[in-house]
Amino acid sequence: MADVKWNGGNEHWIKKGDVRLFLWEKPAAPAAKPAGTILFVHGSSMAGQPTFDLHVPGRPHSSAMDWFAERGFNTWCMDNEGYGRSDKSRPINFDISNGADDLAAGSEYILERTGGGKLLVYGISSGALKAALFAQRHPERVARLVLDAFVWTGEGSPTLRERTKKLADFKANNRRPIDRAFVQSIFSRDHAECADAATVNAFADAILTLDDSMPTGTYVDMCSKLPLVDPQKITVPSMILRGEYDGIASIDDLLAFFRGLSNMDKQFSVMAGISHASFQQKNYMTVYHLLHSFFTVPKPVYLA
């Protein structure tokens, strides 16, 4: 395994009750025009730093946090309870609702340090579900919401259809083992050519440096408890991102959710040549472009 190092950030530790949670910050570049504060939310099988602050030799701008910090954004991610550096001691499976509780605690801390205002929130896969549920519960803290690799009802999802075959095992255990082959399967299950081997291997190194198992709660939720959020109760400006080859949700499922969003400041984008883990794909700069564009939309001068 490679020696994984996290470059140039600030560690923070907070409490959610008796639970200790880890946050990672990369501040905006001092010379950049202030652009806002982003909270990145990780998925089911990896912690925050491997997903959003991954450094791969020869891959420019591989760290999303660095790229956005260079453009004036204060960037944050956190490890949900049960993941990475955060507490893993409670005998629970760390489901999506619990993850949304983590975001509530983390956002409160971040907003206290940044002087209030609202956050730009990005979540991927089960992190998108956590982010959506957080925004549903705390719209006053969210300026804009981006849901990548999101799933609403699960109807028409080949990934969840296969995953449900192991539902009994997931329900019987609070954690599931992971290894390098598992990380590689995230990229091979939909369209293997969407990511290069060097990035996948670096991603696996970063994930396995922190964890050798993952909670089962998000898998149980996504296989047996959808839908978990109500689009009509998400009142903040929102964007839905869907990789062209992503098997986690069908286009029809996502469009139905999109139609139900009550705020007309909303966008839907299909990303060509991308499968599931968009920041680790060959076309990752597409994701950065779409996020930056949505996060910097001028405020409307007219609303009815």
- Within a domain: 157: yes
Confidence class for position 7, pLDDT limits 50, 70, 90: confident
- Within a domain: 304: no
- What amino acid occupies position 84? G
Domain at 193, CATH number: 3.40.50.1820
pLDDT at 3 over 60: no
- Within a domain: 1: no
Instruction: Compute CA 284 distance to the chain's CA centroid, rounded to the nearest angstrom.
Output: 14
Q: State the Cα–Cα distance between residues 25 and 9, nearest whole angstrom.
A: 6
* Full-model pTM: 0.97
- Within a domain: 303: no
- Within a domain: 66: yes
pLDDT at 269: 98
Q: State the Cα–Cα distance between residues 43 and 131, nearest whole angstrom.
A: 10
pLDDT at 2: 46
pLDDT at 78: 98
What value does the mean pLDDT take over residues 46-51?
A: 98
pLDDT at 1 over 50: no
Number of folded domains that form the chain? 1
What value does the mean pLDDT take over residues 174-181?
A: 98
pLDDT at 275: 98
Confidence class for position 5, pLDDT limits 50, 70, 90: low
**Domain range for 219:** 10-295
Phi, psi of 119 (to 5 degrees): -105, 150
Instruction: Compute CA 276 distance to the chain's CA centroid, rounded to the nearest angstrom.
Output: 11
pLDDT at 8: 85
- Within a domain: 67: yes
Ranges of H-type helices in 156-296: 158-163, 167-172, 180-188, 197-210, 217-224, 251-260, 284-295
- Within a domain: 2: no
Q: Average model confidence (pLDDT) for the chain? A: 96
Q: State the Cα–Cα distance between residues 82 and 101, nearest whole angstrom.
A: 13
Reported as a single tens digit per residue, the pLDDT across 129-145 is: 999 999 999 999 999 99
Identify which of 258, 244, 286, 278 has the alpha carbon closest to the alpha carbon of residue 132. 258
- Within a domain: 301: no
SS3 of 269, please? strand
